[in-house]
Amino acid sequence: MKLTFLGTGTSFGVPVVGCDCPTCTSDDPRDHRTRHGALVDLEGGRLLVDTPPELRLQLLAARVSKIDAVWFTHIHADHVHGIDDLRVFTARRGDVQAYVASEYRQNIERHFEYIFDDSFEAPPGSSIPSIQLHNVEAGEPVNILNENFVPLRVPHGPSSVYGFRVGKLGYITDGKSLPAETLEALRGVEVLVLNALWFGNPHPAHFSIEEAIDAAREVGAGRTYLTHLTHRVTHAELDARLPVGVFAAYDGLEVEIPS
């Protein structure tokens, strides 16, 4: 199994428009963070995690030519508004299978009605994505690309985000804490992905870096990668300050995960 980080920034991305802070003006390419997205390569195919606004650019950078399935963690704009970029895959191979928490299905169908309303027809010379939605429920395993995915719910302010465990990978973004059932489901993972905004100054809907480190210790993963990072901290600072076994992800990072 291989994990590729397509985008590791928050909803603002990095650089932030109009900002001249050290991170936003950095020459280190690891400080250029597009909105959240990732790929999970499995024996049965390739899963895309979220469809952020920069999806087309991310897929070009990663030289992606095929997507077999999509996992939507939740329906905030920075995680779904690149959904139209799936057109190129569905035009070649038919439906893309997509998985979303049942509580969000009506919302995503309504928000992108032109995709999910069967009565809508693309104008001549144009096309629309062909996406087949499947519901997931927290804690109820679902078979995707011949692998067992366990949906994991975490609180995100007043809403919920659905990460997953597949094999020895645990993937959580936009979380504020790990509920007991989610923590238990993550036991034994080799690679853990957690969101983390910045050092100090707790946020009501996201882990701070310190909180993410504490959560990683509770899980006990061999390696933890922090994503959904802001412009308040550079990659170099993270490298210098993170404890052993915890790493800052960056756009384009590839991580091999043992079976």
Check if the beta carbon of residue 176 is closer than 8 Å to that of residue 154. Answer: yes
Q: Quick one: pLDDT at residue 219?
A: 98
pLDDT at 4 over 80: yes
pLDDT at 91 over 80: no
The pLDDT tens digits of the residues spanning 19-52 come to 999 999 999 999 999 999 999 999 999 999 999 9
Range of the domain at 93: 2-256
Instruction: Indicate the pLDDT class of residue 211, thresholds 50, 70 and 90.
Output: very high
Number of folded domains that form the chain:
1
Q: Quick one: pLDDT at residue 113?
A: 96
Task: Say what the pTM is.
Answer: 0.97
Query: How many residues can be counted in the chain?
Result: 259
Using alpha carbons, list the distances in angstroms from residue 77 to 4, 103, 104.
21, 16, 13
Q: Quick one: pLDDT at residue 122?
A: 87
Burial 9-43 (b: 16+ CB within 10 A, else e): bbeebbbbeeeeeebbebeeebbbbbbbbbbbbbe
> CA nearest 220: which of 192, 195, 197, 196?
192
The pLDDT tens digits of the residues spanning 49-84 come to 999 999 999 999 999 999 999 999 999 999 999 999
- Residue 56: give its domain's CATH number: 3.60.15.10
Strand runs labelled E in 34-80 = 37-42, 45-49, 69-71
**What is the average per-residue pLDDT within 221-233?**
97
Instruction: Indicate the pLDDT class of residue 126, thresholds 50, 70 and 90.
Output: confident
**What is the average per-residue pLDDT within 188-210?**
96
